Amino acid sequence: MLKRILISFVGVLLFFACLFITQTYLFAQTGTIQGKVTDKETGDPLPGANVVVQSAEIQTGAASRSDGTYEVRHLPAGTYTITVTFIGYKEESTTVTVTAGKTVTMDFQLTATGIMANPIAVTASRRPEKILEAPADVVVLEVRQIETRPVLTVAEHLKSAPGVDMVTSGLNQSNVVVRGFNNVFSGALLSLVDNRIARVPSLRLNAYQFIPTVNEDIERIELVLGPGSALYGPNSASGVLHIITKSPFTSQGTTASIGGGERSVFMASFRHASVLNDHIGFKISAQYYQGNDWKFFDPAEPDTIIFGRQTSQGRVNIDGPVPNRRDFDVEKLAGEARVDFKLSDDATIIVNGGFNRGSNIELTGIGAAQAKDWTYSYGQVRFLYKNLFIQGFINASDAGDTYLLRTGDLIVDNSKLFVFQAQHGLTLGNRQRFTYGFDALLTRPNTDNTINGRNEDNDDINEFGGYLQSETDISSKLKFVGAARLDKHSELEDVIFSPRAALVFKPMPTQNFRVTYNRAYSTPSTNNLFLDILSVRDVFGLGKAFQPALGFSPSTDIRAQGVPSTGFNFVRDDMGLPMFRSPFAPVAGLTPSDFIPLNDPVFTNVMWGIARQAILAGFVPQFQALLAQQGLPQAQIDALTQAFVNIVPQQVSGVKNVLRVLNTTTGTFEDVSDVTNVPRMKQTTTQTFEFGYKGVIADKLALGFDVYHSDIDDFIGPLIVETPNVFLDGQTLAASLAQQFGQALSDPNNAILNAILINLDNPQFGGNGNGSAVDELTNLFVLGPENNGAAFIPFGTVSPKEAFDPTALILTYRNFGNISVNGIDFHFSYFVNRNWTFGGNFSWVSKDFFKKGPNQPQDIALNAPKFKFGGYVDYHNTQLGLSGNLRLRFVDDFPVNSGVFIGRVDSYAVLDLTLAYKLPFSRGTQINLTIQNLTDNKHREIVGAPEIGRLAILRLSQSL
């Protein structure tokens, strides 16, 4: 193995050495044109401008980078015409002469004429490209849109984006997905910051309030609608959100801000970027805010709680009882630092890190959690050389003093995520491009045995994947994009294949039609795989009831256990019937781990004997008291008691066993005829077919739409009981007892006893009045006086071989279901003039609720509306330093089924206002006003959350 690694490493070094020598030779024989493209009025760089360089012999070109610079290399000596175009700007051309071995610098200042609708994006294809060339629907939020809106989390910028389903559950808490299937505690949308996965490790939670990036440091936000697994790997089936921050080389200066507003909000931030020389740049930032959240009281939360920790052996109490008071104060403290080392014009090393400490109420699938001083931190190193990108990063989590408000259970999470990624791009001629790469994701959960129990030392997840994307220009107007990815997950059986195909047709530079196919997937969570918690101890009270008589506790617990790599497999006898294990096994000289056949006559009589003794222990004192009330002497009472005990059969014959499974929601048992093995967990697969259009018409109107169909297979269901309990069959038991009671009572030796017991037949005492006590005695032992007879005692559990506790009921997960949805996303922007723009969007999906059926044991909710729309009006005047934005968002009503939160959200409409003004005597000074929910329309966006009202924030910022 080591030899193969060394050979591969040397081969890679030789490849890059040959590439470097070849390029050095070519450079010596040719020349270079470079420069920068900017806005003539503002001086702002124009990223993604199209630079065409042509002569009589050749035509080539480039796109300007994010800082507006461009470079065209390997040009033979001669005269060239340079033409620069950018949507919304007037075309500019000039002629230059190139000399071998020399570099010509030519800058361009373009004059704005129309709408800005084709910015550069990197997320859709993992390389820079204009969004009108991307094989997916990409939404880009530019720096001006971001800087003018003071927000508490980056998620606020996404509210009006097309296709986005966002629910706000507090001042800084939100869950964001694309095209539905939202949830509380959601991590469905792959969220990146500078190519780094931003989710909380292990928990796979998108906690946007934990992202330490300050608003002033964001260069742009890119959102890809639809699956992205072919390039981004696991858990990107619902789209990709990418937050890209500024380089210290292109954003030097200092910005400080302070603000406040309603809900006692106070906020402050700081950012400084500088360069030490031409090769080293750095930036640092920090932010702090606090506020008071909207109030909501969950009726399921008790008035007092006892703080405790879950362990594999049950709950350990730590403190309490104490009053259970929600803390509505929200607080965040965060900081980041980054250093860029520019080794050459083509090579850069970036080192950065950050931390966030936050406190707020967060909704989870098992109720609200009081997050207290939860710390999230990361470290990242990136290396960029031409088309080569290599990075490694670590995300770390420390849950602090966080606890669940419904139970008082402390949440312990010190998990980490280690990631290594490499990517390279290769261009062959003018028509063929390849992008290929490798990813390694190493998840290291650490719950201190509170969540993963006996799996704590065996809960590591390793994921390795590789991908290749090919982009072929079939003609100047038609492009084919094909991608394939293979991934191996350490806890999944099969290698996962994720293909992608797209055909992009551009009849003109401002029009884009595309047809795409994506197959994406989401992997099981750490809970799905490694959960091990004692949920309920002695759930039926058997231990407490039988321990005095048996001398040991035959308790049956409920345990939540993740699905192991083998799955859960039930043992069957020679007849194919499932076998069970019993906490009463020691009575028969067995151990609780021994498997027992169903309907085994020997153990069936053990079960009957246990029930017989328990029922006699309860009935005999009542029988003796009844005799005493009739004035009988003690000796006769004792004789009649013994006679009664003797007629109760010690053995039964022909009695069967039946299976019933506990419904934890209703607390009742449901009959089942058999059990089904729980297979090893599989990934959830999403296949999407999509037709889309995006274009710019007459430099005034930018519009786009997507029509899609998605098939989703193998949902991972919630925790349910998969192990039925074993009972004595009431019908066959009654038949056996009735026969033996009839024979005993017809015996003349039991005439006196029969005369006494005949009183049980009296209808006044619940008898059937048929002249015999047989039915009543049978019911007494089979049913019991309060449905607590022999037929109601769970004597065992059909548990799989892999159960940690052989007699416990197992709560676990299972893949199930296949659902399909159709949808439409539409959006447009209209450029009235240089100052005014307006636009809108709407989205529709075909279903928002999928009822359970034969192949789908649980209801599935989209947790998002079938219909929503939004609109905006935007004003921007550079000369006056004034800008404003008014946004409307309407969300139709929809059902919610997310963990313990089940119900319906009513439709609502929200109006947001943003104003920004740069002071004329100090253009570095800006005043921002943001009013979310301008009309104070109190509404609830998810079940379990408070009603959201108005939030106005005024911020003053100074840039130097």
Residues 519 and 620 in one domain: no
The partner residues of 259 in beta bridges, in order of sequence, read: 267, 955
pLDDT tens digit string along 109-119? 988 765 555 55
Domain boundary among 797, 827, 856: 797
> What mean pLDDT do residues 621-642 have?
88
Residues 181 and 232 in one domain: yes
Q: In whole angstroms, what is the distance from residue 145 CA to residue 137 CA?
A: 19
pLDDT tens digit string along 554-570? 999 999 899 999 999 99
Residue 848 clears pLDDT 50, i.e. is over it: yes
What is the reported pLDDT for 536? 83
DSSP states along 613-649: HHHHHHHHHHHHHHHHHTT--HHHHHHHHHHHHHHS-
Has residue 338 been placed in a domain? no
What's the half-sphere exposure (Cβ side, CA atoms, 13 Å) at 339?
8
The partner residues of 39 in beta bridges, in order of sequence, read: 110
Residues 623 and 491 in one domain: no
What is the reported pLDDT for 12? 42
Residue with tokens 């001669």: 78
User: In this prediction, what percent of the chain has a pLDDT beyond 90?
Assistant: 62
Has residue 394 been placed in a domain? yes
Has residue 318 been placed in a domain? no
Residues 771 and 634 in one domain: yes
Q: In whole angstroms, what is the distance from residue 510 CA to residue 933 CA?
A: 36
Has residue 282 been placed in a domain? yes
DSSP states along 878-890: TTTTEEEEEEEEE
Residue 15 clears pLDDT 50, i.e. is over it: no
Has residue 912 been placed in a domain? yes
Q: 245 with 219: CB under 8 angstroms?
A: yes
> What mean pLDDT do residues 250-257 have?
93
Q: How confident is the model at residue 315 (pLDDT cuts 50, 70, 90)?
A: confident
Residues 475 and 411 in one domain: yes
User: In this prediction, what percent of the chain has a pLDDT beyond 70?
Assistant: 94
Domain boundary among 113, 143, 162: 113
Residues 622 and 686 in one domain: no
Residues 97 and 187 in one domain: no
Q: 894 with 866: CB under 8 angstroms?
A: yes
What does the block give as tokens for 910?
Answer: 């929200």
| CATH number for the domain harbouring residue 158 | 2.40.170.20
**At 771, phi and psi to the nearest 5?**
85, 10
Which burial class, exposed, middle or buried, applies to 853 when counting CB atoms under 10 A from its CB (0-12, 13-18, 19+)? exposed
pLDDT tens digit string along 918-940? 999 887 899 999 999 999 999 99
**At 132, phi and psi to the nearest 5?**
-80, -5
Domain boundary among 113, 140, 172: 113
pTM, 2 dp: 0.82
Cα torsion 765, 769, 771, 772 to 10°: value is -60
Has residue 320 been placed in a domain? no
Residues 854 and 886 in one domain: yes
Residues 700 and 717 in one domain: yes
Residue 529 clears pLDDT 50, i.e. is over it: yes
What is the reported pLDDT for 47? 78
Number of domains in the chain: 3
| CATH number for the domain harbouring residue 10 | 2.60.40.10
> What mean pLDDT do residues 56-84 have?
86
Listed range (93-107, 111-125, 632-646) with the worst mean pLDDT: 111-125
Q: How confident is the model at residue 143 (pLDDT cuts 50, 70, 90)?
A: confident
Q: How confident is the model at residue 9 (pLDDT cuts 50, 70, 90)?
A: very low
Angle at 891 (CA atoms; ends 889, 894), nearest 5 degrees: 165
Q: How confident is the model at residue 26 (pLDDT cuts 50, 70, 90)?
A: very low
Residues 877 and 950 in one domain: yes
Residues 627 and 611 in one domain: yes
Residues spanned by the domain of 45: 2-113
Residues 227 and 266 in one domain: yes
